[in-house]
Amino acid sequence: MRYVSVVGGGIAGLLTAWALSRRGVRVTVFEQGPLPNPHCSSFDEHRIIRHAYGAMPAYARLMPGAFSLWDRLWGDIFPAGQQRGYLETGLTYVLRGDNGWYDITAQSLDELGVAYGDVPLDAVPGRYPMLNCDGVTRVVETGGAGVLFPSIIMTALVAALPGMGVQFVPSCKISAVNADAGEVVANGERHRADAVVVAAGAWVDRLVPALKGIAVPSRQAVVYLAPPSDLASAWATAPAIITRDFSGDIGSTYTLPPRQGMRLKVGDHLFSRRGDPDDDRVARSEDLEVLSAALPLVYRDFERYTVLERRACFYTVTEDERFIVRPTGDRTWVVSACSGHGFKLAPAMAEAVAQALTGERDAAGISAWAAPA
């Protein structure tokens, strides 16, 4: 394998280019927008990375390898001692009820040797003064977790990859991929390679029609906030927070703290499974209906927070929230690893595809490995 075309300049495409270029493969990345593209599925201020995975413990087992690959990446894209892509903050789960989530999570964390522990409920208001504790039945602090900073990571990747031999074709119209020929049609011109990797995010089903109705574009919404001044210091040292309401009143929300110059961000884990990824990125009232109802139940005195921005984003969702990483045609791979938890595992997926393309790993088992039962 000497030359690979990568379609898509989000985190999956950029990391695939990185993994291949480290093996001496010549790579061209085709991207429909600028690089990095602020409209791509993976571009944002911050994302959670964690070992705790609830009912999907097989993904938890992939996390140690993913952490190791992130560490390898830092050495390639940041000056020595100046890693800015990850901050270990820990992750706190705020539970209302339980459906077996705690036991299966504790079992997988024990298996991985990751520390965790309960916060006594009477100690929660002092340790987490921002929380609304009504109905809270358990608070669990977990290690092996923190915050990734996608905008920093992707910008650094775009800056570093040309020095590794990667070529970019930004702002191009990608009209077709011939999966059997290893051919990409961009701006009306045909580009032939030994292989193609399609990592097109929310647009993937337009280039790989077999994924239509399987990897479904989903319009999601988040809000960026300024906390009230008396809670600013608590938020400045806060971990990432996930709430799980098994009674069904709140659902699942996630919160990224305002660390390393980023804003406080909250979102929910309810997939819309609708929308056109070419649409704007301003969240509308219907996008935020569930989240807006949940936040006053999650955070005390939420009316005192200032909403700085309401933002929509798009990513793909599969029915079982598992990844699609597999060959399609004779000379093409498709990488659709998202469903709201793909960024943290992106280097592991990229490494697997690079290994398959260079003959280091049997391609036959990768699809099942990326979508474990």
Residue 350: give its domain's CATH number.
Answer: 3.50.50.60
Please list the rounded mean pLDDT of every run of 10 residues in the chain (373 residues).
97 99 99 97 96 94 98 97 96 94 96 98 98 97 98 98 99 98 98 99 96 95 98 98 86 95 94 93 93 95 98 94 97 95 97 98 95 88
Q: What is the CATH number of the domain that holds 100?
A: 3.30.9.10
Handedness of CA 59, 64, 69, 70 (dihedral sign): positive
Cα 261 from Cα 87, distance rounded (Å)? 12
- The verdict on pTM exceeding 0.95 is yes
pLDDT for 269 equals 85
CB 48 within 8 A of CB 91: yes
Q: What is the domain count for the chain?
A: 2
Cα 192 from Cα 181, distance rounded (Å)? 7
Please report whether residue 82 resides in a domain: no
- The two tokens of residue 307 are 């909403």
317, 332, 350: which is the final residue of a domain?
A: 317
The reply to whether 29 and 167 lie within a common domain is yes
Please report whether residue 188 resides in a domain: yes
Please report whether residue 277 resides in a domain: yes
Cα 46 from Cα 85, distance rounded (Å)? 9
Spell out the residues 6+ positions from residue 204 whose beta carbon is closer than 8 angstroms to its own: 8, 198, 211, 215, 316, 334, 336
β-strand 252-256 against 240-245: which pairing, if any?
A: antiparallel
The reply to whether 238 and 128 lie within a common domain is yes
**Distances, alpha carbon 342 to alpha carbons 61, 202, 250, 295, in Å:** 14, 12, 23, 24
pLDDT for 247 equals 78
The reply to whether 143 and 226 lie within a common domain is yes
Please report whether residue 345 resides in a domain: yes
Please report whether residue 22 resides in a domain: yes
CB 251 within 8 A of CB 290: yes
The reply to whether 325 and 293 lie within a common domain is no
pLDDT for 270 equals 84
The reply to whether 354 and 267 lie within a common domain is no
Please report whether residue 59 resides in a domain: no
Q: Tell the residue number behind the tokens 């819309």, with chain if given.
A: 272
The reply to whether 300 and 244 lie within a common domain is yes
The reply to whether 222 and 294 lie within a common domain is yes
The reply to whether 201 and 259 lie within a common domain is no
The reply to whether 210 and 229 lie within a common domain is no
The reply to whether 128 and 170 lie within a common domain is no
β-strand 332-336 against 195-198: which pairing, if any?
A: parallel
Please report whether residue 17 resides in a domain: yes
Cα 239 from Cα 128, distance rounded (Å)? 10
Cα 364 from Cα 196, distance rounded (Å)? 17
Please report whether residue 79 resides in a domain: no
Give the residue numbers spanning the domain of 34: 3-45+151-215+320-370
The reply to whether 230 and 123 lie within a common domain is yes
The reply to whether 131 and 221 lie within a common domain is yes
